[in-house]
Amino acid sequence: MNDLQAPVLLSIGFGYCARVLAARLRADSWHIAATAREGDKAKALRAEGINAHVWPPDNLLASLPAHTHLLISVPPGEAGDPVLGRYREALLDQRDRIAWIGYLSTTAVYGDRQGGWVDETSTLNPASERGKRRVVAERGWLALAEQGLPVHTFRLAGIYGPGRGPFEKIRRGTAKRIVKEGQVFGRTHVEDIATVLQASIAQPDPGTAYNVTDDLTCPPQEVIGHAADLLGLPRPPLVPFDTAEMSAMARSFYGENKRVSNDRIKQRLGVTLAYPTYREGFRAILDAEHSA
């Protein structure tokens, strides 16, 4: 594949998930472009060989090459989705040059199901303000699919992976095992998120939403306890939810209790999770730390 034929990933927002996907695509001769909030961050990305733009560039979409892929990983704010707000018409103007758009959303769009199951056909009924904003943003992006843009929505469960997990808090002695009767959470390893995104890029199905979560939805105190066991450290104390000291954001997560089906990514995209539960994922993180 020569440079004239190489596909481009333009990542609006270049965070944890986007970096992992970009690393995989670069290994397959893709070009990567991205946005950054600050000039220094953009300069650092350019030093890595990434075509970086300081947000918000007016001409970001003006000279897209053919076969460009867009990953949208910035959250909506009070004023709505910032990418749609600035680039909706430009995206429509460039629709013939865009091969795939992935919008990273959250399973918070389903709201609280009191531990019951949801899938991609379930009604969206968010309980949190964060979830409500995501529903509005999803609808805005999926409306573009009806106008010819190849938009896909990915509803991510709790994201973890190297550098993002419970180990440091346990090592510092600040972790807690918070207990709320019947509460369960889903989660997904960042590498499995990248696998799902790559599978969707290879098999576009515009207008489709995908849940991205692993196979084991379980109480959070079990996860923290297992992580402590792997480290050979005492399990953090059990703390009742009602008396736990938590940020408003952290407490809001406990207002939603559901189990999220991941059948669609397996059946439609043929995805096999590398880390079907947190147990395999945590073990891999620690093995990588020891190797380093």
Average pLDDT value for the chain = 94
In a domain, 96, yes or no: yes
Tell me whether residue 120 is in a domain.
yes
250 within domain boundaries:
no
**Contact yes or no for 195/207 (Cβ under 8 A):** no
The pLDDT of residue 2 is 39
58 — pLDDT class (breaks 50, 70, 90): confident
The answer to the question of residue 123 being in a domain is yes
Pair 244, 216: CB distance under 8 Å = no
Is 140 inside a domain boundary? Answer: yes
pLDDT at 291: 87
Cross-strand pairs, 164: 161
Rounded to an integer, the average pLDDT of 274-287 is: 97
Number of domains in the chain: 1
Q: Tell me how far apart the alpha carbons of residues 119 and 123 are, in angstroms, rounded to a whole number.
A: 9
The answer to whether residue 282 is domain-embedded is no
Cα(157)–Cα(189) distance, integer angstroms: 9
**Which pLDDT does position 1 carry in this prediction?**
36
- Asked if pLDDT for residue 250 goes beyond 90, the answer is no
Q: What pLDDT score was predicted for residue 6?
A: 84
Q: Which domain CATH number covers 140? A: 3.40.50.720
- Where in the sequence is the domain holding 119, given as residue range(s)? 8-159+190-212+260-274
Q: What is the pLDDT of residues 171-209, one digit of tens each?
A: 999 999 999 999 999 999 999 999 999 999 999 999 999
Q: Which residues pair with 178 in a beta bridge?
A: 239
The residue written with tokens 């696998």 in the block is 195
What is the mean predicted confidence (pLDDT) over 56-72?
Answer: 85
